[in-house]
Amino acid sequence: MIQRIITAIVIAAGLAGCANTKPDLPPNFVLDSDRTDGLVVVSLTLTGKPLDQVISFEYGIRTAVPSAGAEVEQKQHFGSAQQYANWATRGGEHRAATWAAKVKGGSSEPAEILENGKAIGRLVALRLPAGEYEFYTWKIVEQNAYGEMEYGPRQTFSYRFSVQSGKAAYLGRLRLQLDEGTPYNLSIEDMSDVDLTAFRNKYPSIAFEAAVMKEKARQK
């Protein structure tokens, strides 16, 4: 049975294990036309609930689902054990279908985005294979008197974006407003002046394309 591997994504690690706490992208990281993956940068923030009281905060990312009726289903059939071994050796068994973009917990990167002097999130860089993706869920865990409380949306949503081989794109600032006793609110803002200035201070050689995310209809 093919196992899906949920991979923690930190600004430097790209596709890395959940326990991996590597720092930013390598100082010598370069995007070129020979790469099969691309880079997207997004700032992920939380308001309404203090980030310093949160144990972990992450967003779920998955490959985007085509419009209804246009899906293509793929099933690999093997004629021999050797064919399966060849497929697995080349990475077929370990292609991640979902990822986690870590804002807090599982990352060594600081929460550098401030509002009124307090940290509310961080700038995340995602190295992904070329393709169509979407942010579709989020999860927050905080400690209380009885252990831990986990928060998340009851329904999935869809903020879609594209990844192009050898190119970098800025997706915007995804802001989660989470107040006690009220529905959460999720919005996307273009904060490229602030976000990209911070990123270029560390990686001045990486050029970006405008690609702020759009929200699609919520999925039930």
The predicted structure's pLDDT at residue 118: 93
The alpha-carbon radius of gyration of the chain (Å, integer) is: 18
SS3 annotation, 83-147: HHHHHHHCCHHHCCCEEEEEEECCCCCCCCEEECCEEEEEEEEEEEECEEEEEEEEEEEEEECCE
User: In the chain, helix, strand, coil percent, each to 5?
Assistant: 10, 40, 45
C-alpha 82/C-alpha 67 separation (Å) is 36
pLDDT for residue 14: 37
Note the pLDDT tens digit of each residue in 85-126: 676 666 555 455 788 888 998 766 788 899 999 999 999 888
Q: Evaluate if pTM is beyond 0.85.
A: no
pLDDT for position 78 = 73
Cα→Cα distances 21→1, 10, 18, 111, Å: 29, 8, 8, 14
Q: How far is 15 from 163, CA to CA, in rounded Å?
A: 14
Average of pLDDT values for 158-175? 92
Question: Of 118, 124, 137, 136, nearest to 54 (Cα)?
Answer: 118
Q: What's the confidence (pLDDT) of residue 32? A: 78
Q: What is the pLDDT of residue 107?
A: 65
Reference 156, options 172, 182, 179, 138; nearest CA is 138
Q: What are 74's strand-pairing partners?
A: none
pLDDT tens-digit map of 197-209: 988 888 888 888 7
Report in angstroms the alpha-carbon separations of 167 from 8, 130, 183. 21, 9, 36
